[in-house]
Amino acid sequence: MKQDLTVANQSKASSKDLFQQACEVLPGGVSRNTIFRRPHPHYAAKAEGCYVTDIEGIQRIDFANNMASLIHGHTHPAIVQAVTEQLQRGTAFTMGTEVELRYAQLLCGRAPGFEKIRFVNSGTEAVMAMIKAARAYTGKSKIAKVEGAYHGSYDFAEVSQTASPDNWGDRDKPASVPVAYGTPESVLNDVVIIPFNDPTRALAILDQYADELACIIIDPLPHRVCLAPASEEFIKALYLWTRKNDSLLVFDEVITFRNYYGGSQENYSVRPDLTSMGKIIGGGFPAGALAGRTDVMKVLDPSEGKMLLPHSGTFSANPITMTAGLIAMELFDQSAVTQLNHLADKARQQIEQAIKIADIPACVTGAGSMFRIHLKAEAPQNYREAYMDTKTSGLIKTLIDYLYDEGCMMINTCTATLSTAMTVKEIDHLSEAMLKGFKKIKPLL
C-alpha cells in the first residue's frame, strides 16, 4: 500500500470517526451492505485510474471497480470532460435529448438481438422491467431462474439467491427460498428454481410449468452461482424449450456485458429475446437498460392503442448518464475488450500458478475480464458445489482482508473485475499478494 500524505493531511476526520457518525443516521452506518467491513469501512478521498485513496491517505488498487461498474477505472479524462460540459447545459429535462438517441444507436449496434432499447436507472430496475415486459408479452405470471443467481433486489428476481443446505431442497426440485423476511408466499409460488448447467434436470422441472412461465432468466456467467460460463448445451436447451412453450429466454447481462463486445451472448448460437444491462453502460453513473426484440419491446410503446406495460422513470436516460455511458462504451471498442480480456487471462494464469506454489486446495473460475477464487480443489459448476460453509466463508474473508491490507480491493466473494486502466504491473501485484495470502491461510485449511 502507498500512503498519500497530502490527502491524509487534508482530512479532518478519520474513517473511524465518520463511521461512528454514520451509525447515528444510517442503518449499520452504510447505504449499501457491499461496503461494510469491520471494524469500520474506509472512506474514499479521491481516485484516479485503477487506484483509490482513502481519507487516511492509503492508496489501493481497485479490483472491485464499484462492483464491476467502472470499465475504465476512475475519473477517465474523456468522460470527465464530456460530463462537465453537459453539466453546464443541464442535468435532467422533461424532454428527450439527442445523446439518448446516439447512445441507443451505439448499443443497438453492438448486439444483433438489440432491435429496440429502453434506458432505466439501475441493473435491478432493468431486470424488473424485463420480467414485467415478459409477463405483459406472454400474459403469464411465473418466471424461472437459476438457483443462487443474483439478479438485483426485485422480490421475484432475488428468490433462492441465498439458499443453503438447510432449505434448498432436493436437487431435482429446488425450493423457492426467500431472501428477505416477510417476502409474500405468492412471490415464492411464482418463481421456479432450476439448477445451473444441468439441462436434463432443468427441463424436467420446467415441463411441470409449461403453460405458466413468462420467461426463463439467465445470467450467462453468474457471479454468485460459481462464475463459470453457462454451457452452449444448457442455453440452447432452454431456448428451444421457450420456443415450444410460448415463453421467453431473457438474459441478465448487467455484469457480463463487459466480457465481450456484444455481451456474453456472443458466445451462443441462439439469441435471448430480451437483455437487461447496467453497471458499465453508465460510465460511472447510475444506469440500466432493457433491449430486445421489437415485438416484445412494443409492450412499452406509448404510441400503441393499448399499452401493455406503462413505464417511466424520472431520471431514465438523463443526459449526464447518457453522456458518460456513450463515451465509456465508445472507448470500450473491440480492441479494448480484447486487450482487457487478455490481461484477465494473464491474471488467472498467475493466480493458478500461485495456488500450485502454495499447494492449497483452491481454483480460479471466470471469463472475460472477471475471475473468482474458490477454496476448492475442483472448479465448482453450480451453486451447490460453490456454496461456502461457515469455515470456508471465514477463510475467504481472511484472504480478502489480507489482500486489502496488501493494497488490493476485491469484491466480497474474492472476485475481481478488471478495468482498462490496469496494466501487467497491477496484475503482478495482485498475484504476489495472492501467493502470500494463500500461504497465510494454508495452516487454517
Judged by DSSP in three states, 145 sits in: strand
Do 279 and 426 belong together in one domain? Answer: no
Length of the chain (residues):
445
- Looking at the domain assignment, is residue 15 inside a domain? no
CATH of the domain at 387: 3.90.1150.10
Distance CA 42, CA 20 (A): 12
The radius of gyration of the chain from alpha carbons, rounded to an integer in Å, stands at 22
- Looking at the domain assignment, is residue 191 inside a domain? yes
Do 337 and 318 belong together in one domain? Answer: no
pLDDT at 320 over 70: yes
Do 235 and 372 belong together in one domain? Answer: no
Q: Compute the average pLDDT of residues 157-178.
A: 97
pLDDT at 403 over 80: yes
Query: pLDDT tens digit string along 116-155?
Result: 999 999 999 999 999 999 999 999 999 999 999 999 999 9
Q: How confident is the model at residue 164 (pLDDT cuts 50, 70, 90)?
A: very high
Q: For 356-424, give the DSSP string.
A: HHHT-S-EEEEETTEEEEESSSS---SHHHH---HHHHHHHHHHHHHHHHTTEE-BTTTEEE--TT--H
Quickly tell me which residue has 429446488 as its cell: 174
What is the CB neighbour count within 10 angstroms for residue 145?
27
Distance CA 354, CA 182 (A): 44
Of 260, 262, 322, nearest to 104 (Cα)?
322
Do 337 and 323 belong together in one domain? Answer: no
Do 364 and 382 belong together in one domain? Answer: yes
Mean pLDDT taken over the chain: 96
Q: Which of 309, 331, 353 lies at the terminal end of a domain, its last residue?
A: 331
pLDDT at 11 over 80: no
Do 211 and 138 belong together in one domain? Answer: yes
Do 99 and 190 belong together in one domain? Answer: yes
- Looking at the domain assignment, is residue 58 inside a domain? no
Judged by DSSP in three states, 170 sits in: strand
Do 165 and 100 belong together in one domain? Answer: yes
Do 284 and 356 belong together in one domain? Answer: no
Q: Which of 331, 356, 387 lies at the terminal end of a domain, its last residue?
A: 331
Question: Domain limits at 216?
Answer: 77-331
pLDDT at 5 over 60: no
Number of domains present in the structure of the chain: 2
- Looking at the domain assignment, is residue 437 inside a domain? yes
Q: Determine the pLDDT at residue 38.
A: 87
Q: Which of 284, 306, 331 lies at the terminal end of a domain, its last residue?
A: 331
Q: Determine the pLDDT at residue 34.
A: 86
Q: Determine the pLDDT at residue 305.
A: 87
Helices 199-206 & 232-244, crossing angle to 10 degrees? 20
CATH of the domain at 194: 3.40.640.10
- Helix or strand (DSSP H, E) at 281: none
Query: pLDDT tens digit string along 21-70?
Result: 999 999 999 998 988 888 899 999 999 999 999 999 999 999 999 999 99
Query: Exposed e or buried b for every residue in 190-221, given b needs 16+ CB within 10 A?
Result: bbbbbbbbbbebbeebbeebeebbbbbbbbbb
Do 317 and 339 belong together in one domain? Answer: no
User: Contact, 157 vs 131, CB < 8 A?
Assistant: yes
Do 224 and 348 belong together in one domain? Answer: no
Do 245 and 380 belong together in one domain? Answer: no
- Looking at the domain assignment, is residue 188 inside a domain? yes
pTM: 0.95
What is the CB neighbour count within 10 angstroms for residue 271?
17
